[in-house]
Chains A and B, each alone.
Chain A
Amino acid sequence: MIDLSINFGGIKAPNPFWLASAPPTNSGYQIMKAFDAGWGGAVWKTLGVPVVNVSSRYGSVNYRNTRMMGFNNIELITDRPLADNLREIEEVKKYFPDHAVIASLMVESKAEWEQIIKDVENAGADGIELNFGCPHGMCERGMGSAVGQEPEVLETIVGWVKEAANIPVITKLTPNISEITEPGLAAVKGGTDSISLINTIKSIVGIDLDTYAPYPIVDGKGSNGGYCGPAVKPIAMHMIRELAQHPEISGTPISGIGGVETWRDAVEFILLGATSVQVCTAVMHYGFGIVREMEAGLRQFMQEKNYSTIYDFAGKALPNVTEWKHLNLKHKVVAEINADKCIGCELCYISCDDGAHQAIALSDDPVNRIPSIIEENCVGCNLCSLVCPVEDCITMVKKDDGTQNLTWNERTLNDDIPTTFDDDRAGGKGHFVPKPTDALKHRN
């Protein structure tokens, strides 16, 4: 029996799929529609002193024929009066008492924090999320990511909030910082119940080649926006992992945000320690209905792996994410091309020859377009298998017998690492590299 329900740092929800605080959670109408579609929770678009927004707010990075692979926005927090939002929170909770409604908040003074916390509690919110992440507009006014970038300020505000709040508090972090564990630790020290990340990344998504203005263009000018969407997922996953592995933070629940669009994304986030996921761009692209695919996929995965709750596999990838120095230097894989599947595009050849280690050869027979691996040159880098357009045509085959394990760390301890510029112990010593002038052979 699969049970998708969660208790996320004191906030209960029927499933781990939450809407992130963003345009899709701007109103009670949208959140009711989302819950009706299957979402388990929603973080209300950030409440505070209502803002004035600009027209033209979103920009997109399209990759080939894929739209919105990356996405950015310069929209600020809610521009609706607080009273309207509070009334709608109350109404949503009336219809969906078991779903999680979390109020994202962003204000300045301690008094404002105390007041707004009381307001959202009275409205029936199940939790509070502190928006310390918004990297555009609000940060210029000392809020949003300006707080997230100052661990001390962050810790102080979390302290104020915890003092005032009777409902659970999630601290949302900005990725616009060099070491995510610093604000993470500050949030924990401030007493937060849980952490969510990542907020958006400062970005410019494109420049108009006629007006030379950055997108989104507001009357000929633009500003940095907050970047999100599928493109940021790897950054989010890394930051989640850093918090989840940190000894002083790992006990704090993490809500993963950043490019989640499919069940696979959600499972990956959970494997890295997240116990709820928040989604925005995918909904802005496809509507609330995509949660059907996410939930069905998650259930299928759990059934196949025999898990009954997400806690059964949360964090399961963490032991395998380690520092480089602990990787086995004796492990050896080599590319193998399946000639029956090869379609002869020769992308593996050119990517290896120009972009990697010159370990793939073309046939001498001009009719035969199936390349071959020069095994002694292959360093097992994967590039060919990544560029190959045919599924399972190039595979990386294990060549070591698995009996040996030697890491950089161990070699360092054994005093067995290259130390001079021409050290014999250099990894590339003796590797085949063509003569520089071989590059010009075609001229003859």
Chain B
Amino acid sequence: MAEYKRPKTKAEFDKNFKQKKPLMNDTEAFYESSRCLFCYDAPCIQACPTHIDIPLFIKQIHTDNVTGASKTIFDSNWLGNACGVVCPTGVLCEGACVFNHQDVPPIQIGRLQNYATNKSIDAKKELFRVGKSTGKKIAIIGAGPAGIACACEARALGHEVDIFEAKDKPSGLTVYGIAPYKITNEEVLQEIDFLQSQLDFNIHYNSEISSNEQLKDLEAKYDAIFVGVGLGKTRNLGLDGEDKKGVIGAVEFIEELRMKHHEVTVPAKVVVIGGGNTAMDAASEAARMGARKTVLAYRNSKEKMGAYGFEYDLAISAGVDSLFNVTPLEIVGNGKVEGVKFAKTEMVNGTLKTNMKNVFIVRCDMVIKATGQAKQGNLYELIDDLEIDDKTRIKTNDDFQTSNPKYFAGGDAINGGAEVVNAAYDGKMAAQGIHQWLTKKD
């Protein structure tokens, strides 16, 4: 079990949050790329949400056409660099690699991808060109992966683009919400810089779109609007004592950590409630911040957790303990958190029942709620004729166009919260949808 010392400096923080997928060196990339079989109709391509031609870029790396490799990657995925490291490759491309059927380690596709894109970003290679101007203007709400991808594709197709971002940095979740051992802020921002410098789109920071007037203004000034907003704040659990000091949402916790690094103080004992990937991240991060005891509490069994197995393993290896089949009843403490009262749960005839006869308290100084984020329903309500499904997701057609034809949407806004790579794909395809709609002959 790993033990982490509380990080007091940036260097100590970086040590505790050592990159899980470090950048490959040339030799490593050369040898790793030599292993690719160049499968026909390769399963890795099919498994990639953006359908990157993986065997091609790997062959290009191996034949020392690394710039070509990065072009192949960016051609399919505008956030190819970030995705190389933050994608759950074990369940996507690398999970599909045929070597898995032979008990041979799959090709490290993510790291190879990151190797190629990183080289081009570092060298500021000119890879993209703004398309011939169409005279059309597109407004994008949210500078997250979906918004950035949409902007890049739209610029390549010749449209003017303005992105409106609520926060003061681009790339949304990638910079605010991904565990720090997956990617550094610098790396995320560098990729956006690289794209923006070549494709020349505008990002207006600290410009949240939250009123009907703002939307009307956008509608008047722009030919199409892409909604690429992510999810909102962590949802309330509705527990007694949830307002006590020391209770924080996982998303908020991770965001603070990503922005303030070692300046964030995590107390000795932490309870993380939830069983998704965000819960795993938060628990792992609390442990890496020097919490002496971090307990992950999930209401159902280990098998029912939404988190990927490797994310759970990562948390455990960081020294996190886990409690399964427990549901929180109350957060106890005098003004500030002193513990969480749980009841055991059990599966009875297919439904999860709370056993009130088996109630106990886990002592702690901090509670991190990783039980899902609220959707941006308030914004959606402001848009005329926008159809929303019963899970507060915007409905779109195959071209990512919403029921209000001027509005397109993609990413978390339509899938309820998924991977960066899904958002990157949606954004790109939505720009193509917008392009078709704007340029079609009436």
Chain A interfacial positions (CB closer than 8 Å to B): 64-65, 342-347, 349-350, 362, 369, 389-390
Contacts and interface: CB of A to CB of B under 8 A. Distances in A.
10 contacts: A64-B34, A64-B62, A343-B98, A343-B101, A345-B39, A347-B39, A347-B40, A362-B41, A369-B43, A369-B98
Interface in B75-128: 98-99, 101-102
Interface residues of B, number: 14
A346 B99 CA distance: 13
A345 B37 contact: yes
Residue from A344, A346, A389, A390 with most neighbouring chain B CB atoms (10 Å):
A344
B31 to A, nearest CB: 5
Given A64-B62, A65-B34, A349-B40, 15 more contacts: A64-B34, A65-B30, A343-B99, A343-B101, A344-B39, A344-B43, A344-B98, A345-B37, A345-B40, A345-B98, A347-B39, A347-B40, A362-B41, A389-B37, A390-B102
B310 interface: no
Contacts of B39: 344-347
Contacts of B99: 343
A65 B31 contact: yes
B41 A346 contact: yes
Contacts of A344: 39, 43, 98, 101
A273 B99 CA distance: 41
State the 5 A-B residue pairs at the shortest beta-carbon distance, nearest first: A65-B34, A346-B40, A350-B40, A343-B101, A343-B98
Interface of B: 30-31, 34, 37-41, 43, 62, 98-99, 101-102
Contacts of B98: 343-345, 369
Main secondary structure of the interface of A (DSSP, over half): loop
A343 B102 contact: yes
A144 B220 CA distance: 86
Nearest to A350: B40
A346 B44 CA distance: 13
Given A64-B62, A369-B43, A390-B102, A347 B31 contact: no
A64 B101 CA distance: 23
A349 B40 CA distance: 8
Nearest to A209: B64
Contacts of A346: 39-41
A65 B33 CA distance: 9
B435 to A, nearest CB: 23
Nearest to B38: A347
A250 to B, nearest CB: 43
B295 to A, nearest CB: 40
A209 to B, nearest CB: 9
Contacts of A347: 37-40
Contacts of B34: 64-65
A345 B43 CA distance: 8
Residue from A65, A343, A350 with most neighbouring chain B CB atoms (10 Å):
A343
Nearest to A393: B102
